[in-house]
Amino acid sequence: MKRILEFDLENPPVGSARNNWWLWTQGDVAYADNGWGWFPATKVSGGNNWESVPGLQNC
């Protein structure tokens, strides 16, 4: 994962995890855009609700 950016659009909830931070990353399989796209922060372990993922650079 390369960068993280906060949007007004909320991530899909995962258990009690809630967030509006999105990660710009390249997937293992490229369906479009050479595999680059947005990934919800709620799908990444670590960090707190409504905060960026620790250790990732903000856009």
- Rounded Cα–Cα distance for residues 30 and 17 (Å): 28
pTM of the model: 0.79
Overall average pLDDT of the 42-50 stretch = 90
Alpha carbon distances (Å) from 3 to 14, 15, 16, 27, 59: 21, 24, 24, 13, 6
The DSSP bridge pattern shows strands 3-6 and 57-58 to be parallel
What's the number of CA atoms in the CB half-sphere (13 Å) around residue 20?
6
Task: State the pLDDT at residue 2.
Answer: 57
Overall average pLDDT of the 28-37 stretch = 88
Query: For the chain, first and last CA: distance in Å?
Result: 12
